[in-house]
Structure 1
Amino acid sequence: MDLRWSCLGFLLIYGFSGSVLGDQEGFLSLSCGGSTSFVDSSNISWVPDDDYVSTGNGTTVNFIEGSSTSRVPLRFFLDSQEGRKCYKLPVKNISSVVLIRPQFFYKNYDGLGKPPAFQVSLGTATITTVNLTNSDPWVEEFIWPVTKDTVPFCFLSILDGGVPVISSLEVRPLPDGAYRSGMGNLTNKSLRKHYRVNCGNNTSTRFYPQVNAIEVYEIVDIPLEASSTTVSALQVIQQSTGLDLGWQDDPCAPTPWKHIGCEGSLVTSLEIFGIDLRAISPTFGDLLDLKTLDLHNTSLTGEIQNLGSLQQLEKLNLSFNHLTSFGSDFATLVSLQILDLQNNSLQGTVPDNLGNLKGLHLLNLENNKLQGTLPQSLNRENLEVRTSGNICLSFSTLSCNDIYSNSSIETPHVTMFNPTKHNGHNRKALIIGITCGVLCALLFIAFLVFIYRREKGSKFTSTAGTSSEMRNWNATKVLTCKEIKAATSNFKEIIGRGSFGSVYLGKLQDGKLVAVKVRFDQTPLGADSFINEVYLLSQVRHQNLVSLEGFCHESKQQILIYEYLSGGSLADNLYGSNSKNVTLSWVRRLKIAVDAAKGLDYLHNGSNPRIIHRDVKSSNILLDSEMNAKVCDFGLSKQISQADVTHVTTVVKGTAGYLDPEYYSTQQLTEKSDVYSFGVVLLELICGREPLCHSGNPDSYNLVLWAKPYLQAGAFEIVDDCLKGTFDMESMRRAASVAARSVERDASQRPTMAEVLAELKEAYGIQLSYVTSRGHLN
């Protein structure tokens, strides 16, 4: 803010005609918070402000002036009201310059005795700070250059400043050339009156600044506005999402809108998540100044597209979506440094053009369906590539069959950060010295931990360990690679495949059928997940949790042996390959839900310490030949100690479509995260479809967003067609109610797993009585 003083600053031009004072053309006089129109003693017409502002609440307050007391209206703006608090003041075709005069009252209208302080902005300029502790009322006058049809007059809350208030707001047109400045015209500047010196004329100043007076003003520079292309793009994005993201007028000034980051007048950051975008529209490509684009968890599908024009882009986050193809746009993203594509459905091989991004230093491809050889152009200095959770993805040219048919071959893997290779002997000496120091420190820490645990008599609970340590975990059977080969007839029959690896049918020496899961992910993170699952399953026993029959952890192999469940997964039976052969009745679906809820309730409340599964989904609920359900796959599970009674902060892991949005945004994991995921499973059981569906109406792509409003309204037309006419309405109502409450965005509004189980038991009991009375229980 540039301050210029004295008569050399700004002088009112003499000679306004008296007729001007009586002319109200272009005048706007708002009674803020008022409810009626009126004409004051100066013959000024006042109107309520409702047509010019969309937020705030009106009230009245006593105002004492001299010996008279009157009730004066005011409007106050609570912090809980969304968005900026703005008036839209019409100034079209009035004049080139207008006078804007707001008056602010507090007068203890709320009885709290705490006058507020807040900022006021005009257009893109933060023009003053109002502090009603210093003066109540507080009056301002601004001279504003007219460049648009309207000008936003806004309130900006400040920390601990209280609630903004205003009593009146006036707009007055000024004749062209009414003010002149030693600095030239006012095109990019506004004036804030500092004080006035009268020069002998006592005429009322209600209409214009007083004639024959010297007025001293501050000069306020008006920040540049964002480009029209940027503003148009943001408006289109706001309309296409169907959400009020807070964008109106300029996105950057006086303060950036939510979800937006700015550098001056340039929009350089955009973060949108937790909504149903489905595709990256071409409009995103118009935001040419973007350096950061975050569209995680927005239900994106298909090919990555429409980003090729963003040559300034440095960080791109498209994680936790359902993208299937890289597309061709990456070749032009020459400034890209961080690319996060984890937890999508990317298939095939990694394209060579990613290697052309010379500034890239982090590429996260975890938990996709990629396979094959990584481009050698990515195997370079200072580039970290994360690939865990894919199908045999590495820099090696070995095939997956070569890797898993020969236990003597170490599984290639990559989660790498390649150091530079210069400065030969000195660098090697430095590395050796650091390595020795770190090893000594780790050995010392390990010794202290060992002594502490031995003295406390505690169980080994770390997820890090060796095969010898794992052998002591509650007598879980340890098998050799040779025994595994024999049990699976050299990995002959595949019965399942996922991002973790393949599952083979096996038979142990005692004749027991087992499922043998061979993990592709041999990275340190994958090893942690493997050891974590072995440890947890060796500690828990429950009829609704899949039991671990043994494991193999030698020669870099990570193999888990489970009890074999012939019924397949719930997902397979609902809408997968098994759904063609069997139709699950409503009573069967409820029984499966009750079984799975029992297993999860045991993890949350029955085990010690408690366990959060962290990857509850229909494909992790397995069925035996009698359709009894068991929860499986504990690779991502997390133990909760007594110290973590409310939550534990952890890196977000899970599956798109099932991931708790609150957990994703806060990284605070609780049992309610499992409840959310299980709520999605309940919706699958009710609707008979997967959580993210690419076919049909785009509006129904996301199961939670599509189904929840129907179920909350008691509208059951979205129930699986094959269930129509076969269920008791009260049973369905109870199941739908607990499903809808389980997927609330606010975790505090979700039931506990114990409460979910209790309600499902009631729904199951009602449906069981219904079908047995009709004699068609399947």
Structure 2
Amino acid sequence: MMVIIFFCFFLFMIIQPFGTQFVRALPQQGFISIDCGFEGSSGYQNNITGLNYTGDGPYIATGENRVVSSNPFGQLYATLRSFPNGTRNCYSLSPVQPGQRYLIRAEFYHGNYDGKGLSPTFDLHLGVNFWTTIAIRTNGGALAEIITVARRQKIEVCLINTNRGTPYISLLELRPLLYFMYPFANESQSLLMSTRWNYGTRDYLRYPDDPYDRKWDADSGEFLPLNTSRQVQTSPGDPFQIPSVVLQTARSFSKTNYNLRITAATASPGERMYIVLHFSELLPLNPANESRILEIYGGDAQLQLFTEYRPPFLVADHKEIINAVIGQSGTYTIAVYVKNTSTQPYIINAMEGFIVRPMNESQTDDRDVTAIEDVKKAFKLTRNWEADPCSPRQYVWQGLVCSYDASANARITSLNLSFSSLVGAIPLSIGNLTALTTLDLSGNNLSGPIPDILGDISSLKILDLSGNEAIGSIPRNLCGRVSKGVLLLRGGEGQCKSSGKNNKTTIISVSVAVSVVFLMILIFIWIFLRRRKAHSPKGELVKRLGLVKERDTRQRDIRFTNAKIKQITRNFEQEIGKGGFGPVYLGHLDNATQVAVKVLSATSSHGSREFEAEVLLLGRVHHKNLVCLLGYCDEPKHLSLVYEYMDNGNLREHLSGEISGCSLLNWRQRVSIALQAAQGLDYLHNGCRPSIVHRDIKSSNILLNSSYVAKIADFGLSRAFSHDNATHITTGVAGTPGYLDPEYFQNYRLDEKSDVYSFGIVLLEILTGQPPYMGSAEKTHIVKWVRTRVEAGDINNIVDPNLHGDFEVNEAWKMVEVAMSCTAASSTERMPMGDVVMALKQCIEINVPDYGIQPVYSDKSPIIPLISGEYALSAPTAR
């Protein structure tokens, strides 16, 4: 919902108490201040704020510059840029730092610039996501401000024509925030400003008094203003960094029996709010006989949020109301009451109210964005090629067809540039559109050779080059794909046919020679392996384990004979499980310790390589949340692994109810298991050198002992690599469907973030009790299933119904947030395992002890205690 501010607001904003004197200079590093429609070459400095403004030419290539004829507000609103053509026109703000928070503000003053006397209404988008709707009177104006997290190296602000008037814009500003400010804004949600009040003053305030250029509306009203000339202290890590000049004034009253009711936010019914109340005591109270004790209510002043609150003296303090839901009135009201034992009346220094905007629209894959932007530049294309190529779907670029996957970013699968008056050579960047199935360049004036890289697009099925008379030669790799029947080529196909005849004899000769050499190599390898086996009965594994034992004095001789394995398992008497490696048997060591013995079966999908990998890896890693290898047998045709016995089976069995006689995992057990598994995986990624990627993290590979301590198992697919030499490994895809990182699946690039994705799936299983694919006929993936429910905003529709509501709401939302980050389509957007561990620890810390405070309940919204005794509404619609 937009904050509508009409003529009087602009007058108030321009004629500020700063006067017309030049203000003191403050650093504007990272600031972007755009006077839209301004055509000056060098820009100018505003004589009120000292901010430097430039024209918008470098940030946008569309639209028309217009002059506002009726403008009493000075240079800032003298011009604008209107967009009579196109559905989506976008500003590209850069440079920005991905992952950093920014405040972005757009302002609109119409002034009947077109003389039509119309009142336009249009939408504003932040990249691919909806920001707000702008509705403006002919001589009025509006302001829209949002706090967001940059997802790429640029932020795009798009004006969307909704056929209700011509979109336009007057000012566009970007302000970087400190990395820890407004932590409730993240990559999945932004904060749309609804209100921002500075109480107890008549002075409107912004930069330079606020170095982050937040606009603070003055509000003294008919109440008692409190103020002080002393500085209000703010800690260096304070997440709001409210200027002292804001907190040095407050609203109060002369009597203690009066209470304050304020509208904190205005929005559509059902929207989620995030509200921050800012406090600081301005009077030096005598603790012996003076006190200011506040009771704060929300939800139309019906729900008690904070009890017996005492603002600290000359120190900034804040109370957050998280995920409040707007009712049918369209407003959210807060009441500040005074406890009957208080000797002082209520106080409030400042307040900010935000609408929580989901930022969950899928983007186009970064590789495709870079490639298609290069194509656009090379061919000097305009069309509707603005912002994201594939998203939102209704604004997909002309000539593109995209594929959409709930668990991955959109990919460009078809590019049609036929009859587009293209000239020159085909840019190499087209070959970086690696998901293309169809490429149509027909009917143009292209010349020069066809790039070899087109032959490397394995998915390409149709290539149309017809109608380009000066087109160059067809690369051999393309002709090879044509001859195999996997590529349909139009235009230049005759070159492939003649080339095939000329080279037929050569190809046959080379094929025969290669076959002979290959056969000789096979014979040599067979002889070598036979000799190696004859001279090394115990195999290379024992030698390699010897090296492990030299490095780790804790490692004991863990090699068993097959006869000993039979003794331990009582001749394989009791099978307790079965996996890809083979059956698992219960065993007992000589000291009566129970063990689990995995035996390689003849039909196993695993083999000696996986067996060796698991033995070597578990021989050198030791962690309380990794299963412990106690021994192995590597005799020919008898490969076995001996593990500590995990009494309570695996996590998947418990979540699905497959273990009879076991009680359902309660909420506290689930959170603990999630944290323990995360710690084990974090050890593999960050506690081992070289790092280890598990490659098969899933709920059935997380085992539970008698105390429900979680341990990660099954390291047969694990890979180790050093970050000193590479950031990833290129390797064949391995793992379990449903848990596979889609980015790894597509490009074969393996790193720790592939495990992070799989762990995110496990987190969602723990939360929902569901497997990776839902049991419906459509086989909906759990990420898509949860995402749709996050948008709906009801945590009860996400958490396992078998818990019957017995869970901590704030913890659940935090776990959802972590899981959504882990399963982001792009690995760069996923948090590393170290951060996952910290987030889950914070999640547990949310559940503070009960101090005897009785929560107040509405029909649907209980009050849940947070850290430091604070409260938050528990009827969120996303987090």
Q: Under TM normalisation by the shorter chain, which class is it?
A: 0.3 to 0.5
Of structures 1 and 2, the one scoring higher in RCO (CA 8 A, sep 6+) is 2
TM-score normalised by structure 2 residue count: 0.40
TM-score normalised by structure 1 residue count: 0.45
